[in-house]
Amino acid sequence: MAPEGASKVVTLFMSANKYRAPLQLAMYAPWRNFRLALKSRGCFSCLEKISTSAITGRDNNQKSPKLPHITSMDMFRSPKIKNVDITAHNESDTSFPEREDSGFINEGDLSFNGCDLLFSGKSNFTVSVEGNIGSGKTTLLEYFTDSASVDALPEPIEQWTNIQGQYNALQLLYEDPKRWSFSFNMYAQLTRVQMHMKQHIKPIKMLERSLHSTRHCFVENDYRNKTINGMEYGILTGWYDWLVKSEKAKVDLIVYVRADPEVSFDRIKKRSRKEEALVPFSLIEDLHNLHEEWLIEQKDFKPPAPVVILDANKEYDELKELYETHRQEILCGCV
């Protein structure tokens, strides 16, 4: 976890997106050994529509200002920049991240050529794909499964649905969450740690969710909805804290596959997994809100790694194009 006050956020405003920002990189102090270069002018067409006076004091009708090449060290030398509600950006929105002085955003070139997320001195990485049930995490993993750089580890559904050849823990959870939430979360933590600790040969180990989302989204949701009690919450939190301190759950990058609850719920119904037949829309809404709190608002918990946010409210062909466009960011530069 980053020290308090150490986080810096850069939002890349993308024109072909309802949120105006399908990609966001959140940077933390432990990650000073990588640099961020902003990608392709085509991704920034809407940035030129944003008030340049908020950046350099120039009038919007003047020639586009120039921005410098930004490195992680620039970010940590810079003044604090407040986060932006990226869902608020639309054609008429001319706001920009508020800054305390001109130290962070100076004149530079808006014509960016090349984007990479490089972790200096590292040859292998763990990327966690996070998101709601039905948001499209499996679709992303399947897209990169054949990559020469990726060992993809999907969620251990088979383990959850066949314990000792007798018990379908996932189905029991959905049938009676108050009875089975604690048991399932204990087992989920075990299987998550097994995923984190699994050896990999290829440069990227790509996980479908992590121990961190088990704690900050699913365990948290169970506690708020009273399907686990205070003692059970304390036990699960204690296990999580110990595992993190013991470095059993390291992550180098989080990819947040962000979809509206309505979109996720519709996909759940279409794929018709028998265990998910009882999943209520209220659960999908609650989990969406918790992902937003954790990965975007960062209200109570800070993500353990930089975060790339992808808009998953798209059809499959559009998603494939999105994955390919951001391949270099998603794969930490290992393309």
Q: How far apart are CA 15 and CA 23, in angstroms?
A: 11
Which tokens is 241 given?
Answer: 């804290």
Which tokens is 120 given?
Answer: 């200096």
Question: Is 208 among the catalytic positions?
Answer: yes
Q: How far apart are CA 236 and CA 318, in angstroms?
A: 39
Q: How far apart are CA 189 and CA 198, in angstroms?
A: 14
Which runs of consecutive H residues, i.e. helices, occur in the chain?
72-77, 137-144, 157-161, 169-175, 177-197, 211-213, 220-224, 230-245, 261-271, 281-292, 316-325, 327-330
Residues of the chain by 3-state class (helix, strand, coil), percent to 5: 40, 15, 45
Helix 261-271 crosses helix 281-292 at what angle (to 10 degrees)?
130
Q: How far apart are CA 82 and CA 92, in angstroms?
A: 21
The residue among 224, 235, 253 whose CA lies nearest residue 127 is 253
Which tokens is 249 given?
Answer: 């759950």
Pairing, β 34-36 against β 117-119: antiparallel
Catalytic residue among 91, 98, 158, 208: 208
Side-chain-side CA neighbours of 12 within 13 Å: the count stands at 27
CB 227 within 8 A of CB 181: yes
**Active-site amino acid positions:** 208
